[in-house]
Structure 1
Amino acid sequence: MARIRVLIVDDSAVVRQVVSGMLTAAGFEVMDAVSDPIAAMSRLAREWPDVILLDIEMPRMDGITFLKKIMAERPTPIVICSTLTEKGARTTVDALAAGAVSVVAKPRLGLKQFLLDAADELTTTIRAAARVNAGRLARRQPIAAPVPKHTADAVLPPSAPIALMHTTERIVAIGTSTGGTQALEVVLTALPRVSPGIVIVQHMPEKFTAAFAERLNQICEIEVKEAQPNDRVMQGRALIAPGGKHLTVRRSGAQHYVDVIDGPLVNRHRPSVDVLFRSVARSAGRNALGIIMTGMGDDGAAGLAEMHAAGARTVAQDEESCVVFGMPREAIKRGGVDKVVPLSAISHEIVAVHTHRN
């Protein structure tokens, strides 16, 4: 099988040297490692990579401008390597909105050791990026390092009762990963102000989810915010799980609230879609709608099956509109999906829950 060809664009000599060696040792072909987008464009005139690893803050041309140029001319999987700062988080969200596949967070200090420690995460992320549907990139987090693969049992034991009582309080639970930032923008911006309460897991590193939620809140009619403990799931509001924390839903009377909790990685992720979906199955049962969207792997497949068994309606994004069809495919294979729809139809499914047309 042909090796994955990677172009590294980063003004840090340390990043170029360490990542080049790391990727070569892992079996990738490093096409080149250049210091800025101007040099990258000169290299791209002769040869094209499978994946571009891109810094944001660089001389002569910033990474966002370069990314938009690539997406306009020849959509290519791009992984952003961004600093863990407030400014870096905001800029990275812009990059994801412009079509980047994933983000790998890097610190300003201790960079070389961090890159060595994060080798598995970085190589896994680049391999995942190489398999995305490049045709979807023009319209549209990192996968964590290999660890023992926990199920939702590690956070929520499987023996709790399911909420069976039918109420008028409907909630929607959404799980997504690679390609999900733009997919969520398509869905949430299409919703009217009066929509059911929504809880979301988007696989994304710590410190980036707040900026992501803030950006969506500025362009949506509904309120979008990073979830905080005890936030109420309510009409006209979408709560996004903070990076590095699990998000669960509990019921109090006829209302639902969220908890933001620690716990082990589940399906190599924290937050995990399976954890969210299991909690919604228990707290809302048939009063819920579960939606699984574009993403690599199988996080959410088991949880969506639990929601289905509890009487919830369940929807999967179709293959043609996914950047990566992994998560929806696994959910469909497990028999937990009632309906498969294109991305453009998901907002209609959510509105139908609110208007009782389903």
Structure 2
Amino acid sequence: MDTINVLIVDDSALMRNLVSRMVENVPGITVAAKAMNGQMALEKLESIKVDIIILDLEMPVMTGLEFMRERKKRGLDIPVIILSSIAHRGAAVTMECLELGASDFLLKPSNVGSEDVGKVADRIVQMVQSYGGAYARKQGKKIPLFASTSREERPAPAAEGAAPSAPKPVTSAFTVPASAKSGPIQAVRESGPIEIIVFGISTGGPNALREVFAGLSPDIKKPMVVVQHMPAGFTAEFAASLNNICPLEVKEAAEGDLLKPGRILIAPGGYHVVVEKRSLASIVHLNQEPPRNGHRPSADVLFESVVKEYQANALGVIMTGMGKDGAAELAEMRRQGARTLGQDADSCIVYGMPRAAFEMGAVQKQVPLNKMAEAINELALKY
């Protein structure tokens, strides 16, 4: 079996070694090279083949942003994961890197000796396997697919102190066993006019939402609410970047925001978002109740409120992501008569959340990413 080759780019030797340790002991991943700035990374790419780049932003000689600009100029398509800081400037630059073609990003651990390190390690491995694995397979490498379970949903080690096992390979490309399929859910009432559209999305989401939102019709008059799993401090910049390419208004949700026709609200990182229908105006509320399915914001929390307030008068969309967040409550939305869409396996970076929903019978129609905007437009303008 071939391996996913990784290039780590960071001016800190400590961080290069830390990230290297996070991935090099995972079967199927090899640290092919390290570089201390963007210029050195470009030089290394001339002599070695890699399947994914883990890139710091703040470096001497050539920054991460400058590297991304040069990558685009040279037509390089190797996926890039950004290592970002939580500062406002870091968020703005991170979003610019996504616009330049970076696949995703994650926060550096705030303290090398903190609990953050384990969470960051888990996310890096997931991203390397997802983005790097997909790229490597396109290059003809034999790379297995991996089970789409998150740290919170994996079994604990058998004995105290035992190392966690590597993610389990999936034997075939996103095949759903017949025994796992529950069949389509039979709704208890007929679907009504769509009054709200809600999304749940995670790994692979930043670029997937960019593609979908750019293709939405300016004539849609339904409010939309999005849960994208993203750290606190980044969703305002993310919403602003989407607003630049979407014909509808996109903003980070704030407590008490109105659900206006044609407005898209993005759940803030670190906050659950729920909807409330009122006689004069419908609004959103934010809260910091415990994470659900390991996430805050959680798609299940949003969808649950939609079930309560809108029943059959909603459209739920579940897209690429690790784990199962959103699946259970999307199933309940469908049971109450809401319309539902799920991203298909072939176009997902990780077919986890949509797969879980599909297996529960929650998804009326599976749609490839490049057809998702068209499918949403059709339903939103028809009903």
Whole-Å separation in 2 of the counterparts to 1:202 and 1:323 = 14
Q: 195, 203, 209: which is aligned to 1:170? A: 195
Structure 1 residue runs without a partner (length 5+): 138-142, 150-161
- For 1:354 and 1:103, locate their aligned partners in 2 and report how far apart those are by CA, in whole Å: 31
- Please give the per-residue CA displacement for 1:238-287, whole angstroms capped at 9, x wherever unaligned: 00000111111122237432111112222221111121112112211111
Q: Amino acid of the residue matched to residue 202 of structure 2? A: S
The question of whether the paired residues in 2 share the 8 Å contact of 1:7 and 1:52 is answered with yes
Tell me how far apart the structure 1 counterparts of residues 195 and 211 of structure 2 sit (CA, whole Å): 21
1:67 maps onto 2:68 in alignment = yes
Residue by residue over 1:329-348, the C-alpha shift from the partner in whole angstroms, topping out at 9 and shown as x without a partner, is 22212111111222233223
> Identity percentage over the alignment?
39
Distance 2:191 2:349 in 1: 36
Q: 1:193 aligned to 2:218?
A: yes
Q: CA deviation at 1:104?
A: 1.7
Unmatched tracts of structure 2, length 5 or more:
139-147, 155-186
Summarize the Cα distance change of 1:168–1:336 in structure 2 as closer, same or farther, 3 Å threshold: closer
Aligned-residue RMSD, C-alpha: 3.1
Does the 8 Å CA contact 2:234/2:269 hold for their aligned counterparts? yes
Specify the alignment match of 1:156 in structure 2: none
**Among 312, 325, 328, which residue is 1:286 paired with?**
312
Residues 1:313 and 1:40: Cα distance change in structure 2 (over 3 Å): same
Report what 2:352 is aligned to. Answer: 326
1:265 aligns with 2:291: yes
> What does residue range 1-358 of structure 1 map to in structure 2 within 5 Å?
4-24=4-24, 28-67=29-68, 69-70=70-71, 73-106=75-108, 111-114=111-114, 117-132=116-131, 133-134=134-135, 146-147=151-152, 170-195=195-220, 196-253=222-279, 255-355=281-381, 357-358=382-383
How far is 1:309 from its partner? Answer: 0.6
Under a length normalisation based on structure 1, what TM-score does the superposition of the two structures give? 0.83
**Distance of aligned partners of 1:96 and 1:175 in 2 relative to their CA distance in 1, 3 Å threshold:** same
What CA deviation, in whole Å up to 9, does each residue of 1:206-253 have, x standing for no partner?
100000111222332211110111112121100000011111112223
Q: How many Å apart are 1:121 and its aligned residue?
A: 2.6
Structure 1 SS opposite 2:277: strand
In the superposition, relative to structure 1, how do residues 285 and 340 fare at CA in structure 2: closer, same or farther (>3 Å)? same
Contact kept? 1:37, 1:66, Cα under 8 Å: yes
Q: Which moved more, 1:303-312 or 1:123-132?
A: 123-132
> How far did 1:168 drift?
5.7
8 A Cα contact 1:52 1:77, kept in partner: yes
- Find the aligned partners of 1:318 and 1:188 in 2 and give their Cα distance: 17
Aligned length: 337
- Given residue 32 of structure 1, which amino acid in structure 2 is its aligned partner? A
Q: Deviation per CA, 1:98-132, whole angstroms, max 9, x where unpaired?
A: 3333322137xx64335x73233323333333223
